[in-house]
Amino acid sequence: MRRGNGGGRQPDKGRPARPAGPLRPHTKARATTPRVRAGSGDGSATDGEPKRGGEFKPPRAKAGSGSRPRISSGRGSARGEGPAKTTETSLRPAQAAAKPAEAREAAPSAVPLPTGVQILSVEPDEAGMRLDRFLLGRFPGLAQTHIQRIVRKGEVRVSGHRAKPSDRLEAGWGIRVPPLKLDQKPERPQSESEADEAFLRSLALFEDDDMLVINKPFGLAVQGGSGMTRHVDGLLESMRSRDGQKPRLVHRLDKDTAGCLVIAKTRFAAAALAKSFRSRTTRKIYWAIVAGVPRVRQGRVSTYLARGESGENETRMEVARHGDDGASHALTYYAVIDQAAQKLAWLSLKPVTGRTHQLRAHAAHIGHPIVGDPKYFDVENWELPGGIQNRLHLLARRIVVPHPRTGRPVDVTAPLPPHMQQTFNLLGLDVSRYDPIEESPEA
């Protein structure tokens, strides 16, 4: 288990003290030489991410194919504290002893970035992480947009290959990282950070030492984008632990979808929760108000979805055929809970897969798009009933996820957002009504 950077280790008797170089907030100071993957900085180190559906999985380094050099550095290591050096940098024992213990134990205010190429090694507790999340965790001072850019440009190499930001890693793989540049930003005032933390905790539906489930409001983005200054991922900076770990997102909701959003508070929890989402052991139920009433009151929608033509910074999913470029299978169960004449229906939706815009695209595919959906609502001559707001009527109502440490189910339910509560009141819908989707097959 990795500890925080709380204290520089006192030198052993009879052994020269090592210099107190800056540490990343979540990295434990080590008296031994840092572990790196053998490589010359030209992308020859091994790394990659297991992929499904025929996507590449870079080969693991064979045993005995290369030696792991012992590298010592006085100001950092291959883990991101500074440039890795192949020469020994020494400091006279008298100089090291002259440094007060308080200075060695103090956490750095900024994370130094490497000035040259680095080869990073994936630790066991980082296995299963996305490549962009791995880099963001190693270099928290870098903007996510910068990380996405250097990965897409091929400057980050995985076993000598280009990689995608979404590629997932395995323990022991190596990642070639180019020289990085940090655009220094002034630290936010303490009052602003405290306000962000208070805001997030006011949204909490469940919280313990490992995970947090919030009720994400309508209109709040989960991650940053073009022109996006306030989002959940940014607000989580205010909740860094004492050892520097920032809570991590393990799944996403659309900006205009309200409801349950799961956040991991530790690296161990992030890996466990991400695995439960990938293996589909997490159960999710959504509520939606749609146009019209489905003739089949309970059913399933099984299609392939692929990204269609879209404008800048916009994504629209289209129903595709098996084998089409970029097409992925998407499966959703649905049930009609109640209706308002033949004008509107209240649906319960259970996605088995987790594709982008899956529920919105599937609702439109069966001819009953979600009310207030600006991308997929295309019913001609349809007028919004009076008193109902033209906002996306989609709620991540309930999530049941195995706890990352105990394995016991964490069952959380989110209340209706204000605009959907107003619609329920106008239509006379009762939130306590029986939801038949609870008994649908898991597939």
Catalytically annotated residues: 254
Residue 373 near residue 389, CB atoms below 8 Å: no
CB within 8 Å of 158: residues ≥ 6 apart? 47, 48, 49, 58, 131, 167, 173, 175, 176
Among 108, 63, 110, 117, residue whose Cα is nearest residue 85: 117
Task: Count Cβ atoms within 10 A of the Cβ of residue 254 and give its class: 0-12 exposed, 13-18 middle, 19 or more buried.
Answer: buried
The tokens 């161990």 sit on which residue? 268
DSSP class of 168: B
Q: What is the largest CA-CA distance in the chain?
A: 86
Among 252, 335, 341, residue whose Cα is nearest residue 294: 335
Q: Look at the alpha carbons of 188, 191, 192, 198 in this order and tell me if their dihedral is positive or negative.
A: positive
DSSP 343-391: TEEEEEEEESS--TTHHHHHHHHTT-PBTT-TTT---TT--PPTT--SS
Residue 330 near residue 305, CB atoms below 8 Å: yes
Q: Rounded distance, CA 254 to CA 251, Å?
A: 10
Residue 243 near residue 25, CB atoms below 8 Å: yes
DSSP class of 431: T
Q: Rounded distance, CA 84 to CA 71, Å?
A: 7
Q: Rounded distance, CA 435 to CA 287, Å?
A: 10
User: Hey, is 397 helix, strand or coil?
Assistant: strand
Residue 131 near residue 163, CB atoms below 8 Å: yes
- At 401, list the tokens: 């996820």
Pairing of β 258-264 and β 204-207 = unpaired
Q: Rounded distance, CA 318 to CA 309, Å?
A: 9
Q: Taking the C-alpha atoms of 27, 29, 34 and 37 in order, what is their torsion angle to the nearest 10 degrees? A: -10
User: Hey, is 87 helix, strand or coil?
Assistant: coil
Please name the amino acid found at residue 378: D
- At 45, list the tokens: 């180190």
